[in-house]
Chain A
């Protein structure tokens, strides 16, 4: 499997993602945002960070960068795309994923390990997990409050396009377990074809028991299948 990680000025999780991909034997390449040619890739990752210092809106400037046109072309021809944190924000700004990420409801930057529930394991990103499995994954964001219109929300539910929801350690999905105010506790969503996943939690931070846990590992191993 060949992967590309897109790097913007202000990206800061790009190398963590690369470590995770290389651990799973991906042949990975880092791609600077000014490039206009994308290396042949089975997977493109848009990493977390603060691209362009979050100017205008998180992900707004990065979402119009040169390489993004190529990412959109690749996405439309079925290439797998993963956006984590700022990467998720960028994907919504490009229109590849619908909805948007608002400021956290409590106005605070939240950096902590939270529980999320796998809502659908019949996807290229989640096949190595069980549906309803509870994972502990780190979040670190200021704008993670997912919002979308009612019509799209219904679409997400009816077509099983919700990847992960915030929950408590027993898997209960409720307001207390919602760190940022996201609509229906949504932590990650797929596009219609399920070849694009955007998520606020950082699976690349959970790949080694020595420093955290390895709950994120199966996301990358699912992609290898």
Chain B
């Protein structure tokens, strides 16, 4: 079973990288931009047929290593 995990900075955490990307896109003339936040994306394949169990495993991976819960949020999606 394959899942995606999207990791984003929490709303109130400053994202200087996203801001630099936004400024550069503005410089390229794409000036209708409102906001950009940069994040991380993981594609994870697990040996598990039961979706509920698989999601539980991925959640565990996120909270133990992939995500810094102080500053980041995450979303799990089935692919």
Contacts and interface: CB of A to CB of B under 8 A. Distances in A.
Size range of the interface on B? 10 to 19
Contacts of B76: none
B16 interface: yes
A100 B68 contact: yes
B53 to A, nearest CB: 23
A159 B14 CA distance: 27
B25 interface: no
B20 A60 contact: no
Nearest to A103: B16
Given A60-B68, A104-B16, 10 more contacts: A56-B65, A57-B68, A60-B65, A64-B65, A102-B71, A103-B16, A107-B17, A147-B70, A148-B70, A181-B14
Contact of A147 (B16, B66, B71): B71
Q: Is the interface of B mostly helix, strand, loop or mixed?
A: helix
A192 interface: no
Interface in A34-71: 56-57, 60, 64
A5 B14 CA distance: 34
B79 interface: no
A212 interface: no
Contact of A99 (B64, B65, B66, B70): B70
Nearest to B19: A107
B13 interface: yes
Interface in A95-131: 98-100, 102-107
Interface of A: 56-57, 60, 64, 93, 98-100, 102-107, 147-149, 181
Contact of B14 (A57, A99, A102, A149): A102
A149 B16 contact: no
Nearest to A93: B68
B17 A103 contact: yes
B16 A106 contact: yes
B13 A147 contact: yes
A107 to B, nearest CB: 5
A105 B65 contact: no
A57 B65 CA distance: 10
A105 B68 contact: no
Interface in B1-52: 13-14, 16-17, 20
B71 A105 contact: no
Nearest to B20: A107
Q: Which 3 A-B pairs have the closest CB atoms?
A: A100-B70, A107-B16, A100-B71
15 contacts: A64-B64, A64-B65, A100-B70, A102-B13, A103-B16, A103-B17, A104-B16, A105-B14, A105-B16, A106-B16, A107-B17, A147-B70, A148-B70, A149-B70, A181-B14
A147 B69 CA distance: 12
Contacts of A104: 16
Contacts of B16: 103-107
